[in-house]
Amino acid sequence: MADAGKRLDVFLAEKTGFSRSHVNKLIKSGAVFRRRKAGYQVKEGEKVIVENCCYPEAAGFTQPMPKVVYEDDFLLVFNKPAGLVVPLDFHHPASTLADYLHEAYPQAEIVHRLDKDTSGVILVAKDQKTAEILRKQFQERQIKKEYLALVTGKLEPEQGIIKAPLSRSLRDRQKIDVSASLKAKAAITKYQVKSHLGKFTLAKVEILTGRTHQIRVHFGAIGFPVAGDKTYGNKKINESLKKKAGLSRQFLHAEKITFSHPATGKQMVVKAPLPSDLKSALAKLKSDDSK
């Protein structure tokens, strides 16, 4: 069998004529018999059944193009714009970073995520071996991720560590809660105040665990929600901030990532500049604070 050993997504794309992006959506949805992963290697004599091929083909990448801030033969680092969803998502056809990668870098694998409305650095492996090495670094907490966050209120003390386990909310499955449940996962967030700006605080934040919505939930839990956060923030303050500083999304930016290069072992430090919307909001708050 000439196809033996091929990745499942490659095999299906060749046999069906669908794009790799569309095939991966089908695999993610559970439509492929036996629910194999995209990287599964097809075996000789194996029958592969796709139970539902009716999901419409994407009409092209429709979101702001992610900018490459570093690239070599093994990996990519993007500066993800706010509004761009990272994983494949049926609710965002042809408009996720994963969709873009499946067209521009067919063998690439995403090794971590950022929330839709969080901007900044995101690390992508160009092949499966590199992805495995980077995922292991994440699991062993060898990769350092630093963010800039504007939070509501005068954050004190000047530096601190937030340790609070997180789990999916029982009241709203789209949210994450601090939880004492045995199923909750440990989550650790470090912060250092950079400056106080009136009723807000700009802080450098490092996460030692990569939980969904971690920074947003942790700061909300201690009474200093991320400014502009529509899910965990203060609605009235967010509306006021939008009028005052033009901020229409959460002020959270993945500024820097530090890791060991999977091929050379060299320490890599890659940064993403603060986007214009956050720069503008910060400048207006600084201007008002100096009056």
Q: For the chain, how many residues are written? A: 291
Distance CA 180, CA 163 (A): 12
Distance CA 27, CA 46 (A): 17
Catalytic residue IDs: 115
SS3 state at 215: helix
Segments in the chain forming alpha helices (H)? 8-16, 20-29, 97-104, 128-139, 214-221, 235-245, 276-289
Is 188 in contact with 145 (CB distance < 8 Å)?
no
Is 275 in contact with 119 (CB distance < 8 Å)?
yes
Distance CA 96, CA 78 (A): 13
* Helix, strand, coil shares, percent, the chain, to 5: 25, 25, 45
Pairing of strands 144-152, 176-178: unpaired
Closest by CA position to 252, among listed 166, 150, 174: 150
Amino acid at 97: L
Is 206 in contact with 144 (CB distance < 8 Å)?
yes
